[in-house]
Structure 1
């Protein structure tokens, strides 16, 4: 059985291109991508297809009807929900990731509601310039997933 890896999760994503980019990232790194509905675009959206290119067949995408279904799955599998947030209190590089972590990214337009924020096991932040508002969702996902995989020595082997 393959070792479980951390996985990205998108809370009601707004921008198809970001989701497509994260589908491609997840496929290339051998991780799952969880999408929590509703999304702000259709699954056959042209931007989603363009960004994900032909990686959709390689990707492991799990769709959830809502946050309650996602949280229930996490609980049933004993997985932590780690929220990336500008309101986070732990720099992502100081956080100790585990193999089953679900790395939750909020909506591009509004993040996550307070009840989702409170439900997270931990809230991490990517340190950035004090005058900056936020980092693009796809870039944030890549930064955090890469740090989690680095800590766990869980990158795919080359070749």
Structure 2
């Protein structure tokens, strides 16, 4: 079974990473954290946002960008950035691709983006907005990638239980 991969390059805010971790558990997605992190993994804000799901998270840490590349040779990496001309809905995501997001204060460094322009994607938004919240951005792009792949191995239906008005 293939899995999607979310990559966070030097995340700074523990609550965002906790929320992203919870989204990853809910979708069967791997989380890759590239150091330095702006927090400790045991920090209470991280655990609060990730709730009790953090223990079920498939997470890997890397010392730096080079370490990540070395341990994931040939990985197809899409890079989310406000600097891209390509919308996130305009690409076809492979089942096991990596979708990378930069740190909250600065995004992905320009030198990385320049070398990977053809794999950069953006979320459309009003021109006077700098960026969306990191955990929201991850959810938007990840769910598009999952949708394109038929939400493989995910529960796709719920059940409503009809209640009478007197109940």
TM-score between both structures, scaled by the size of structure 1: 0.92
Give me the whole-angstrom Cα distance separating, in 2, the residues matched to 1:132 and 1:113: 19
Out of 29, 32, 35, the residue aligned to residue 33 of structure 2 is 35
**1:136 is matched with which residue?**
133
1:151 aligns with 2:148: yes
Q: Bigger radius of gyration, 1 or 2?
A: 2
SS of 1:57's partner is: helix
The CA deviation at 1:73 is 2.3
Q: Deviations over 1:122-152 (max 9, x none)?
A: 0000011111110000000000000000001
Give me the whole-angstrom Cα distance separating, in 2, the residues matched to 1:119 and 1:38: 22
**1:88 is matched with which residue?**
84
**1:18 is matched with which residue?**
16
Q: Deviations over 1:91-119 (max 9, x none)?
A: 00111111121100000011122222234
Note if contact 1:12-1:39 (Cα within 8 Å) is conserved in structure 2.
yes
Q: Deviations over 1:30-51 (max 9, x none)?
A: 1101100110011111110100
Q: Deviations over 1:71-101 (max 9, x none)?
A: 12232xx321110000012100111111121
Unaligned runs of 5+ in 2: 159-167
**1:122 is matched with which residue?**
119
Unaligned runs of 5+ in 1: none
**2:71 is matched with which residue?**
73
The higher-RCO structure (CA 8 Å, 6+ apart) is 1
1:106 aligns with 2:102: yes
Moved over 2 A (4+): 118-121
SS of 2:40's partner is: coil
The CA deviation at 1:58 is 1.6
1:17–1:57: structure 2 CA closer, same or farther, 3 Å change rule?
A: same
- Number of aligned positions between the proteins: 155
The CA deviation at 1:10 is 0.2
